[in-house]
Amino acid sequence: MEAATLQKRLGSAMRERRTALDRSQESFADLIKMHRAYYSAIERGERNITLHTMYRVARGLGVSVKDLMEDARL
């Protein structure tokens, strides 16, 4: 599978989890101490993020990294 496809699937899964929590990108990015613009790029699937970054997002969403992978079918 293409790298861009992987990233988009994961980004979409994150966006769905975040909106389900009724949080804006900005407030969520603040919560996990990440820059708003960077988090935006992740959700759009423009970043090939590392394990550590995935973990930070997952924790902020209140789920495990495994859960995100399952959502993203990865």
| Contacts with its own copies, residue ranges (CB under 8 A) | 1, 3, 6-7, 10, 48-52, 54-55, 64-66, 69-70, 74
Per-residue contact string for residues 23-42; x = within reach of DNA by CB under 7 A: -xxxx-----xxxxxx-xx-
Tell me the C-alpha distance between 25 and 40, whole Å.
7
Given 1, 2, 20, 50, the residue binding DNA (CB under 7 A): 50
DSSP symbol at 74 = -
Per DSSP, the residues of 7-30 read HHHHHHHHHHHHHHTT--HHHHHH
Which residue's CB is nearer to its own copies, number 24 or number 64? Answer: 64
Name the binder of 11 from DNA, its own copies, none, CB < 5-8 A by kind: none
